[in-house]
Amino acid sequence: MAQDGSQPLIKLDGVTKVFFTDEVETHALAGIHLNIGKGEYVAIAGPSGCGKSTLLSILGLLDSPTEGQYFLNNRPVAELPASERARVRNREIGFIFQSFNLIGDLTVFENVELPLTYRGMKAAERKQRAEAALERVGMAHRSKHLPSQLSGGQQQRVAVARAVAGEPLILLADEPTGNLDSRSGEAVMDLLKELHRAGATICMVTHDPRYARHAERSIHLFDGRVVEERTEMAITE
């Protein structure tokens, strides 16, 4: 819930998602009710195929529910025209992917700056934001490198910088440690924890209960349904 008693930043009301292929119905999500308040850190956990990534795609406006309603910052998403949905994805949602999704022939700095260019932002402000985001994740010293010159953990740090440079309302992380060794994975988890302490709202999908425990609250899915929700004990160093 919203921590100050106000409207939640994200509200899902009976969200269902059905995929239709070759006369087969696949029920990916079934009647999901979920509130995420501003400043919360929520993990969506569960086994492969339980609907986690489908749920994150709906939260990120990359997909739409078959039934139910999604309110983002008190606005019904279904009523937004395509152009406004694109604007919301660019300005209000920061994405962190398992596979990093960096552009190989752009430098680290250019990868972080690129989403800001789609806003028509002036070059000086883009430069300031990109440099500040890279500094925040400890990658400013690699700004002129290409992604291929970085380790997996470093690439994910750059991906986090790209997500936070635009100062989004919410960060959506889809298995952000999935392609990393355990040491790099823990480093990325520590980075997300630092961002949360600084005020970021984070929703993270993970199949690994070790990483789910980094969040304040975890939602456990099974066969497209919420089967458990619990508040996690804070992890201290």
Task: Give mean pLDDT, residues 157-181.
Answer: 93
Residue 62 in this model has a pLDDT that exceeds 60:
yes
pLDDT band at 236 (very low <50, low <70, confident <90, very high): very low
Write down the mean pLDDT value for the chain: 91
Q: Does 234 score more than 90 pLDDT?
A: no
Query: So what's the pLDDT on residue 233?
Result: 57
pLDDT attached to residue 22: 81
What superfamily in CATH does domain 40-61+79-215 come from? P-loop containing nucleotide triphosphate hydrolases (3.40.50.300)
pLDDT at 232: 65
Which positions ≥6 away from 87 have C-beta within 8 Å? none
User: What mean pLDDT comes out for the span 119-128?
Assistant: 93
Single pTM value for the model:
0.88
More confident residue, 236 or 143: 143
Q: Tell me, what's the pLDDT at 23?
A: 80
For the ranges 33-37, 125-129, 197-201, 206-210, the lowest mean pLDDT is seen at 206-210
DSSP per-residue codes, 9-68? SEEEEEEEEEEEETTEEEEEEEEEEEEE-TT-EEEEE-STTSSHHHHHHHHTTSS--SEE
In this prediction, residue 237 carries a pLDDT of 42
- With both helix axes pointing from N to C terminus, report the angle between 108-117 and 123-136 in degrees, rounded to the nearest 10: 130
Q: Which residue has the higher pLDDT, 178 or 233?
A: 178
Q: Could you tell me the residue ranges of all domains in the chain?
A: 40-61+79-215
Least confident range of 19-23, 89-93, 215-219: 19-23
The stretch 11-39 carries a mean pLDDT of 93
What pLDDT score does 175 carry? 93
The tens digit of pLDDT for each residue in 71-112 reads 999 999 999 999 999 999 989 999 999 999 999 999 999 999
Closest CA to 116 of 106, 103, 107, 125: 125
Q: Are 26 and 19 in contact (CB under 8 A)?
A: yes
Q: Pick the closest to residue 221 from 28, 37, 35 (CA basis).
A: 28
Contact 109, 144 (CB under 8 A): yes
Helix or strand run (H / E) with residue 71: strand 67-72
